[in-house]
Amino acid sequence: MPTLSRADNSILGRWWWTVDRWTLGAIGVLIGFGYIMMLAASPAVAERIGSSRDIFILKQVFFLAAAGGVVVAVSLLSPRSIRRVAIIGCIIALALTVATMFIGVEIKGARRWIALPGLSVQPSEFLKPCFAVVAAWLISEGRRTPRFPGKLLAIGVFLAIALLLKSQPDVGMLAVISAVFFAQLYIDGLNLFLVAMLLITAAFGGVGAYMFFPHVQRRVEAFLHPGNGIGTDYQPRTALEAFGNGGLLGRGPGEGHVKDVLPDAHADFVFAVAGEEFGMIVCLIIIAVFGFIVLRGLLRLLKEQDLFVVLSCTGLVAGFGLQAFINMASSLQLIPTKGMTLPLISYGGSSALAVAIGMGMLLALTRRRHHADAA
């Protein structure tokens, strides 16, 4: 990377000296792992998708590069622009999510995707970062401007999104967005009594999902009673065997078997592939990178003055961290199996771009600036 003088006053120069370079580096590391895991998963996935391996690799190379570009491009924006982008993005994503109900591709019993040439997009993926920023804006604006019902509006948008996701159905995404919104309310200083109430509601929501969604019920059953049913128990057990097979140092690149037997090895179980081929140490590094991004993101907010920045960054970081946690924990059978990609590491263009937008926003909002620059 060319060295940039502190005196460099260009857009890039200013960006370089104000952006959180540690977090940027960590995102770069994740994209690097994404390339490695793409190579590991490619033979099995290429066969499953039915396209040639080369096309598959080229696509993912392009998407990961694009994701890196998006991170940088979005992080160049000012907080004000970020807010605008988020509002527009949230509207588009909401519209597309509605559209999935009518023109969506049905995959495994759920309408979540919209097919574009060369890529199928899951609009709710993009909804997540955009809604986090929008909700933060509404809440902080509600505090700043009297008589502006920011919190109520935010809750209204959230309920609309929740209704949409429930009818798709995409319980996993609903849970993440709910958790993100809840985290924002909590950080905003929600009454602890209400916090407790919401937690209880969430618990009831989980029970409700268990009762009303058969596939949720099956997965929870499989989690609570391993070895009960052959079908549902098979995936998490195989993933655990992959970790056991990998051990401390792994079997070596290409030596994994789990990717041959698990349908979603390249996405939902990519962490198990990493565990089998590269071992515990590399898995620890991956966890450490995610943990670093999340903890650094949250702790850096301690010095932040602007409530909008605090809340939106909290939402972005929480969404990112929760997604990573859910993916890794369900691979390890710490929680019931929930299909969710590992940010930037799992295969998939739509997911990588959505995460990149979120991370770009995070970087943009946490750039060092004059106090007055804030929205």
Residues that bind other proteins (CB under 8 A): 43-44, 47, 143-144, 183, 186-189, 237-238, 240-241, 243-248, 254, 257, 260-261, 275, 279-280, 283-284, 287, 290-291, 294-295, 298-299, 301-305, 307, 310, 314, 318, 321, 325, 328-329, 332-334, 368-371
Q: By C-alpha distance, which of 188, 187, 181, 231 is closest to 205?
A: 181
Tell me the closest approach of the beta carbon of residue 131 to other proteins, in angstroms: 18
Question: How far, in Å, CA of 48 to CA of 46, rounded?
Answer: 5
Tell me the closest approach of the beta carbon of residue 371 to other proteins, in angstroms: 4
- Which residue lies nearer to other proteins by CB, 114 or 286? 286
DSSP readout, 39-72?
A: HHHHHHHHHHHTS-HHHHHHHHHHHHHHHHHHHH
- Which residue lies nearer to other proteins by CB, 270 or 294? 294
Question: How far, in Å, CA of 105 to CA of 56, rounded?
Answer: 20
- Which residue lies nearer to other proteins by CB, 2 or 305? 305
Tell me the closest approach of the beta carbon of residue 77 to other proteins, in angstroms: 19
Q: What are phi and psi of 227, to 5 degrees?
A: 85, 0
Whether omega before 169 lies within 30 degrees of 0, making that bond cis, reads yes
- Which residue lies nearer to other proteins by CB, 68 or 339? 339
Q: By C-alpha distance, which of 130, 126, 132 is closest to 113?
A: 126
Structure tokens at 1: 């990377």
- Which residue lies nearer to other proteins by CB, 131 or 243? 243
Question: How far, in Å, CA of 202 to CA of 296, rounded?
Answer: 27
Tell me the closest approach of the beta carbon of residue 94 to other proteins, in angstroms: 27
Tell me the closest approach of the beta carbon of residue 262 to other proteins, in angstroms: 10
The partner residues of 116 in beta bridges, in order of sequence, read 119
Question: How far, in Å, CA of 129 to CA of 105, rounded?
Answer: 23
- Which residue lies nearer to other proteins by CB, 170 or 306? 306
AA letter at 183: A
Tell me the closest approach of the beta carbon of residue 343 to other proteins, in angstroms: 14
Tell me the closest approach of the beta carbon of residue 310 to other proteins, in angstroms: 6
Question: How far, in Å, CA of 373 to CA of 352, rounded?
Answer: 29
- Which residue lies nearer to other proteins by CB, 94 or 276? 276
